[in-house]
Structure 1
Amino acid sequence: MSADSLTVDVQGHALTLCAERAAFDPVLKSLFVADVHLGKDAVFRARGIPVPAGSTEETLGRLDRLIAAHAPESIVFLGDLLHARESHAAEMLGALRRWRARHPALPLVLVEGNHDRHAGALPDEFGMETVIEPYRFGPWALCHHPQTTEHAYALAGHEHPVLRIATGSDRARLPCFRFGARAGVLPAFGAFTGGFEVSAQTAGEAVYVVAGDRVFRVKR
């Protein structure tokens, strides 16, 4: 286990939590990534909001680092791979095309999220298989919206969970993983996403925060 990841037991199944805000199943050799929101900066600019470019390249670069570290045999995106219809801008598609050329044989699965439905499907050249939730894969029910399912542990995204950490006068909002008895939620992966504050005090939940290149459990 590298310094930037932490392998935990989730209801009897190993799951490696990565500081890049993704999870890796070491048995299935699959990478789980939630809420990438590719092209969100292009959407803002198309709607007249002057935000800097470059978040797509940054996000795909972190995905490259995860692939180099874990050598996954597949990637499953837990919804909201794209942000909106304007995400199909030439700039974003070009960056994604270059990324795909670096990993041409890697199977990609998208569990359709609410933003994906509005954005529309990627062109066939990207080789993305789209499925609906819950998508059963090994011991998991892979979803976009947090939920519980029968006979499988659900992993989802959608909420973009963050935890507020305070020490004295200092405050920080850190991305976090949340795991309850029957379902868990991954942090948003995209470089240009907001966050929904959650509590570390929820009964029966384990919360792990990402702080720089570390992942650690928050004690209740």
Structure 2
Amino acid sequence: MNAVAAELAGEQVLLLPQKALYWPAARTLMVADIHFGKAASFRALGVPVPRGITSENLASLETLVTAYDTRRLVFLGDFLHSKAAQATATLQAMLDWRGRHRELELLLVRGNHDWHAGDPSTLLDVAVVEEPFACGPFALCHHPDVAGEGYVIAGHVHPVFHLRTGRESLRLPCFLLGTTRTILPAFGAFTGGHSLIPQASDKVYLVADGLIFQIEKR
């Protein structure tokens, strides 16, 4: 798989084009803002949206935990989108996936949507913690502006970057790597994104068509 190596707080990590971060030394995979059940939540409100989003998200996780030596999978907030995401079909799909990966330690750092949606079913065996959660040299968070002792790795803002060339323009998911924090793009397949203006010290890595690459800011 295409991946980009980076050093954060003295640790080597891999930025993955599937919009995830892998920390080899701790055998830990991190994703942010998966928003399980978001499509179901919209359908519950009468909004016609595509089905199969949960299966798509789970298939992406399957690919990653199979490709990388993963002992722990960390969700950096917004595991469930809303209370409607607790629907039976959504839970069953997650339980089927969990049944194939009982050896994995699952950890959720609560995000703003998690407070409204409620914690995951106990059947999923997900440990739930508050932010900031200390993990080696890192402070694992949902919100990137939370003060923690350690280098912050977070999500929440679903960062995208406007890539412009001539009259063409693309909004692409991105990783933002700063001196004190890294923000991951939203992992979920039905999440959207928000344009951010990088700070001068930030490094920006775009994700597109299964590739990840750094851009030079102007």
* TM-score normalised per structure 2: 0.96
Cα distance, 1:184 vs. partner?
1.2
Residues 148, 94 of structure 1: alpha-carbon distance in 2 compared, 3 angstrom cutoff: closer
Task: Identify the residue that residue 201 of structure 2 maps to in structure 1.
Answer: 204
Task: Identify the residue that residue 114 of structure 1 maps to in structure 2.
Answer: 112
Task: Identify the residue that residue 131 of structure 2 maps to in structure 1.
Answer: 133
Contact residue 41 and residue 82 of structure 2 kept, 8 A: yes
Contact residue 34 and residue 186 of structure 2 kept, 8 A: yes
Cα distance, 1:150 vs. partner?
5.0
Secondary structure of the structure 2 residue equivalent to 1:146: coil
Task: Identify the residue that residue 168 of structure 1 maps to in structure 2.
Answer: 166
Residues 217, 128 of structure 1: alpha-carbon distance in 2 compared, 3 angstrom cutoff: same
Task: Identify the residue that residue 96 of structure 1 maps to in structure 2.
Answer: 94
**2 CA distance for matches of 1:150 and 1:158?**
16
Secondary structure of the structure 2 residue equivalent to 1:83: coil
Secondary structure of the structure 2 residue equivalent to 1:27: helix
Cα distance, 1:71 vs. partner?
2.1
Cα distance, 1:118 vs. partner?
0.4
Cα distance, 1:148 vs. partner?
5.3
Residues 44, 28 of structure 1: alpha-carbon distance in 2 compared, 3 angstrom cutoff: same
**2 CA distance for matches of 1:81 and 1:150?**
21
Cα distance, 1:170 vs. partner?
2.2
How is 1:7-46 mapped onto 2 (pairs within 5 angstroms)?
7-46=5-44
Contact residue 132 and residue 148 of structure 2 kept, 8 A: no
**2 CA distance for matches of 1:57 and 1:148?**
32
Contact residue 148 and residue 182 of structure 1 kept, 8 A: no
Q: Deviations over 1:14-40 (max 9, x none)?
A: 110001000000111100110000000
Cα distance, 1:192 vs. partner?
0.3
Matched, 1:216 2:213: yes
Cα distance, 1:199 vs. partner?
2.5
Within the candidate set 58, 67, 70, 1:69 is matched to 67
Contact residue 143 and residue 155 of structure 2 kept, 8 A: yes
**1 CA distance for matches of 2:144 and 2:35?**
17
Task: Identify the residue that residue 55 of structure 2 maps to in structure 1.
Answer: 57
**2 CA distance for matches of 1:151 and 1:116?**
23
Contact residue 163 and residue 197 of structure 1 kept, 8 A: yes
Unmatched 5+ residue regions in structure 2? none
Q: Identity, % of aligned pairs?
A: 43
Matched, 1:48 2:40: no
**2 CA distance for matches of 1:124 and 1:91?**
16
Query: Residue type matched to 1:61 in 2?
Result: A
**1 CA distance for matches of 2:88 and 2:148?**
42
Secondary structure of the structure 2 residue equivalent to 1:110: strand
